[in-house]
Amino acid sequence: MPFETTTNLTIIFFLITLAILLANKLHFSSIPLLILLGILFGPYGPHNEWFDLRLVQNCELVSFLSHLGVLLLLFYLGLEFSASRVVQNGPTILKGGTVYVGLNFLRGLILGWVFFHSLPETLIVAGITTISSSAMVTKLLMELKRTANPETELVLGFMVYEDAFMAVYLSLLYTYFLTGGTSFTSGLLSGLVTLLFILAVLFSGPRFSPYLERWLHIRSGESFIAIGFTLLLFTVLVAEKLHVAEAVGALLLGLILAETSHAKRLIQMIAPMRDLFGAVFFFAFGMGIDYREFSAVAGITAVVVLATVFGNLFTGWFSAWICGYRGRPALNVASIMIPRGELAILVAGIAASAQLTAVFQPFAALYVLALALVSPSLAKKSGRIHNIVTNIWSSLRPAKQSSKAS
């Protein structure tokens, strides 16, 4: 390994360690701190003739470790549940997910039209603002120790639904913008292939669990983790060949392996790598953000962030309520799914490739950063928010009843 690469990685992991230690000291999520340090010390960090904070550069190895971090985060989340549980709750997830994604997408369309009055730009804003970040949601669930909560199963279902929706939507966006709108049918077919792949794995996956049960019955820890990791990479490769999001493939493999008795052993072995490389993902994400472009989009971003926070609290709570969750669990679902991330940046990239308005990339970056700063606190304080809303509602009800009585 070249000396420059070693130095680069050493500084990156030093900064990651600093962010995690500081987050633990402040009892705060490490996600926004990792992103902020990536911005400050990455390729777009502050610099002039007197000082230069650009200490690290993105490189192929950092990109690979970052990519691996996302895969391990989603793989781990899948191991916490199982494909049969997701299928069993399919009607509930379908009902709630349709309402959740539909209302969020409608909000994005309205915001896009209000600001741009143009269909192409409106579609981009809807794509940026609709879908939660699977990586950030998963990280928050683990930091807040909510993976065992009953409502987390609904969160997982919503994430699968979002991924299926976004697979279809991205396919349509690619063909609409990058082929002049002439291949609508091919885009739709590509999205449907993704959807069918997800459904096929969910419904047929549990049937393969007995074979995986025997195959993974290995005493050697070295052999066990090698086979598990190879399975993950092979699944990601197959997903890539089918034009399915690789993170979705990792999640689906986790859901299938959760059907076996080896899930807990895999969780114990995967967890340290998940935390380490997941941190690299968030730091590398920050390295790609140029903060100097934020001033031009600060106004629109502030409005969209407020609309997303309050809108998502309502849509998430309402969707969970439809699925039978009440009180704090419903608000947990709403608050934990506020972060936006990698898909927002991807949609902004499509806008840049299509040579649309130049604001979308800085807008998406600032939007993601702002929600990464806000959402951990909201998710952590969901119980307090629930108590405040309950008290306000309780104080209003007697007033309504007394007015009726009079």
Q: How far is it, in rounded angstroms, from Cα 274 to Cα 73? A: 6
What confidence score (pLDDT) does residue 397 get?
64
Domain residue spans in the chain?
A: 3-385
What confidence score (pLDDT) does residue 146 get?
87
Q: How far is it, in rounded angstroms, from Cα 153 to Cα 70? A: 19
What confidence score (pLDDT) does residue 182 get?
47
**Protein fold of 3-385:** Na+/H+ antiporter like fold (1.20.1530)
Q: How far is it, in rounded angstroms, from Cα 263 to Cα 78? A: 10
pLDDT digits (tens, 9 = 90+) for 209-243: 788 888 888 888 888 889 889 999 998 888 888 77
Low-confidence ranges of the chain (pLDDT < 70): 1-3, 178-191, 393, 396-406
Selection from 349, 347, 340, 334 nearest residue 367 by Cα: 340
Q: How far is it, in rounded angstroms, from Cα 332 to Cα 313? A: 9
Return all residues near 282 (Cβ < 8 A) that are at least 6 apart: 30, 31, 34, 35, 38, 69, 135, 136, 139
Selection from 302, 299, 296, 222 nearest residue 265 by Cα: 222
